[in-house]
Homo-oligomer: A and B are copies of this chain.
Amino acid sequence: MTDDRPQATEHDVALIGRATQQRAMVLGALVVVEGFISAQALHRRLVADGSPVGLSTVYRTLTALVEAGRADVVRAADGERLFRHRPGPDHRHYLICTECGLSLPVESGPVERWAARIARTSGFADVRHAVELSGVCPDCDRKADQTADQAQGP
């Protein structure tokens, strides 16, 4: 069976308006992913899993989750927005693999302190920071090396 998926859905979904099946499915899928994913990719997953949710609903739900503070959003290099379920209330930063999307929380104390200091000393109000670390994770890097080897001849 396929019922071992996390489903802290019904409860959370109410936070963004009426509790509908679609919102529960979108949130459920987002939780399962455990990493950043684009609205379109999430929609593809839902459809593939036999949960035919409309793309606009996915967008609307994700936007609502972000506004409600239940999801984080970052901007990929190509401009796509990537969403991630936010389990706790803290503000974190991630190191994201540009190949496979794997995301790793990183220790962000120094950046937080740096940003706080700039906020204090700059005279600016309501200072926010967005920090995105990206790279190629060990797995993908290994695969890339193998491909490169093949390409230049065995």
Give me the interface of A with B, judged by CB distance under 8 Å: 75, 79, 81, 95, 97, 104, 106-108, 110-111, 113-115, 118-119, 122-138, 141
Contacts and interface: CB of A to CB of B under 8 A. Distances in A.
B136 A124 contact: yes
Contact of A115 (B129, B133, B138): B133
Contacts of A129: 131-134
20 contacts: A79-B79, A104-B122, A106-B118, A110-B110, A110-B113, A111-B114, A115-B133, A123-B137, A123-B138, A124-B137, A124-B141, A126-B135, A126-B136, A127-B133, A127-B134, A129-B131, A129-B132, A129-B133, A130-B131, A130-B134
- Kindly report how many copies of this chain are found in the complex they form together: 2
Residue in A119, A131, A134 whose Cβ sees the most chain B Cβ within 10 Å:
A131
Contacts of A132: 129-131
A97 B138 CA distance: 38
Contact of A106 (B122, B123, B125, B137): B122
Contacts of A110: 110-111, 113-114
Nearest to A97: B124
